[in-house]
Structure 1
Amino acid sequence: MSTLSPATARLTYRALEPVHGMIYFSPHGPQVYRELGITDPRMMYFASRSAAFGPVPAEVTIATFFNFNPAAVRAVLPAAWNLAAPSDILHARLAAADRSLRQAWGADVDGPEVREAATLARQAAERACERAHGRPLFAAHAALPWPAEPHLVLWHAQTLLREFRGDGHVALLLTEGLSGLEALITHAATGEIPPEVLRISRSWTEQDWAQGVAALRDRNWLADRDLTLSTHGAARRAAIETRTDELSTHPYEAIGPDGCDRLRKLASTLTIRIMDADLAFPPMLSQRYRDTVR
């Protein structure tokens, strides 16, 4: 039984998420990947995030990323490994994180707040390594060496915490009988993110989406007309989110409630500076992050 509130784990994770999440939007990412000969944005994403596995076939990425159209993954993997070795892609990704955080934090990139946040986040991430079983995407990243510089330690720690939480979430979606596409549709039906954002960003066609909606409606996950959850669907989706929080508490037990509070306080300044650093966050996502740390 965890001694840490699941809500505390969720809030602490969300407060630091921009430290990791900026890597998918920062202009420094495309710059370093192009130097390796990778010019397709989809290839940049799938190759950089799955490079920790090594030169895997597309099916490994399809399985672990879960909610992307398999055709989009197969279009760029394993072709990416013919352009650059996974180790080189990982090195480029870390370089992009370095440049991005230096841009955001300037002279404070090696300051006491970053150092303290890195220490706390690393303690949590190292605790997560005790429970890597059944979490393949987390385990692959956990096997990578820790960076030396504090700001990159913080970035790597949040990467591990993100993938730890994500793997647990995917397991719960599967136990509810949801496919990757159906999981996206139920997310859209909560009203948190516009459906078109999720559909397009995960490369699903309008026909795919419509078929998924129809299947979920047949199983009473969705209301009869609008893209909203039915009472049944809302209860099941809420149960998934609650259990995701519960499965995510273990890492943060390493620092306890006081450490989590301190980490969120440090994050409130660091993440706002990331939002203000012109790292190309979509406005809607930037606002969500800002609301989280207020």
Structure 2
Amino acid sequence: MTTLDDPGRTARLMWTRYEPVHAITYFHPRSRAAYEAVGLRGYWRGYFAGRAAPLGACDAPTVVAAFFSFAPHMVSRALPAVWTLAAPQEALRARLTGAVQALAELTYELPESHLVEAAELLETAAGAVQTAGRVLGAANAALPHGDYPLARLWQAATTLREHRGDGHVAALVAADLDPVETLAWRVAVDMSPANLLGRGWSEQEWAQARERLTDRGWLTVDGKPTDRGRARFQAVEDATDVAAARPWVELGPERTGRLRELLDPIARAAHTVIPAGSPIGLPALDS
């Protein structure tokens, strides 16, 4: 049973359950195929078009700001050109189609009643998000819920993850961390460089970010995280959790606990297609 004695802890526990549901859109072959079917060939075209589509036919600067971790020149290679291949509404249909097909493949052994109940509870939580100051969360919250349980489930998971992501970006900005510094820190602590180098930053920019973190006392001269750095970044994580807690407070402990039980087998199935050490930084499911 989940309690709400520590709302931030509950928010993190629930994140480990709904984030995998969302993340299949990046890793499942059916999701990629759906993007390709509307002309978005190549992983990054589908990624940028699908994730940015709730914002409309936006230009690169908007996505650079909202997505936070990508080098501007990398985003500019995709946007606004992707909208000549697939309009935002086409990209939205493709991402939902691919996600539903992927989830159907992963959850075929679960009874429909399980999926319906999970979708209803997750929608209730997503309906409680506060969208002021959260651009991606707000844009996704404004989208239709979908007609079928898996569509509703995926859209609710996506609204919650983008809402949480907006809060995380705010915490990073408040800690005076820029995008490449944030990535350099994660590499020093717990992520493979190979999973993050694809975000477009140059070797010089990576080196300068490491230097700044060293000057700030977050890294040692040989690139190891310091106690100061760990404490400061933990404060970022804690702020992210607290900012993501309101949906679970609104849902209440009993329904939150029930939703955690329902999401658990779905999240575990989704993990089978999410690479270990993936760049989304998702931890293993907590017990």
When the two structures are superposed, what TM-score results if normalisation uses the length of structure 1? 0.90
Q: 1:222 aligns with which of 211, 219, 223?
A: 219
When the two structures are superposed, what TM-score results if normalisation uses the length of structure 2? 0.92
Match of 1:194 in 2: 192
8 Å CA contact retained: 1:146, 1:156: yes
8 Å CA contact retained: 1:4, 1:253: no
Match of 1:153 in 2: 152
Per-residue Cα deviation, 1:38-79 (whole angstroms, up to 9, x for no partner): 212211111110011110110000000001111110001000
Match of 2:139 in 1: 140
Q: 1:261 aligns with which of 254, 257, 263?
A: 257
Shift in Å, 1:196: 3.0
- With over 3 angstroms needed to count, the CA separation of the structure-2 counterparts of 1:293 and 1:237, relative to structure 1, is closer
Match of 1:88 in 2: 90
8 Å CA contact retained: 2:26, 2:32: no
Indicate whether 1:38 and 2:53 are aligned. Answer: no
Per-residue Cα deviation, 1:164-217 (whole angstroms, up to 9, x for no partner): 1100110111111111111111222222x12332223x2223222111111211
Shift in Å, 1:262: 1.4
Instruction: Give the residue type in structure 2 aligned to 1:10.
Output: R
Report the secondary structure of 2:32's partner residue.
Answer: helix
Unaligned runs of 5+ in 1: none
Match of 2:210 in 1: 213
Report the secondary structure of 1:253's partner residue.
Answer: helix
Q: Separation in 2 of the partners of 1:142 and 1:133?
A: 12
Q: How many residues align?
A: 283
Output the aligned Cα RMSD.
2.0
8 Å CA contact retained: 2:192, 2:277: no
What percent of counterpart residues are identical?
Answer: 37
Unaligned runs of 5+ in 2: none
Residue range with higher mean Cα deviation, 215-224 or 116-125: 215-224
Instruction: Give the residue type in structure 1 aligned to 2:202.
Output: T
Runs of 4+ in 1 over 3 A off after TM superposition: 283-286, 288-291
Indicate whether 1:292 and 2:260 are aligned. Answer: no
Report the secondary structure of 1:75's partner residue.
Answer: helix
8 Å CA contact retained: 2:16, 2:284: no
Instruction: Give the residue type in structure 2 aligned to 1:181.
Output: V
Per-residue Cα deviation, 1:8-49 (whole angstroms, up to 9, x for no partner): 111011122111111101111221222222212211111110
Indicate whether 1:54 and 2:56 are aligned. Answer: yes
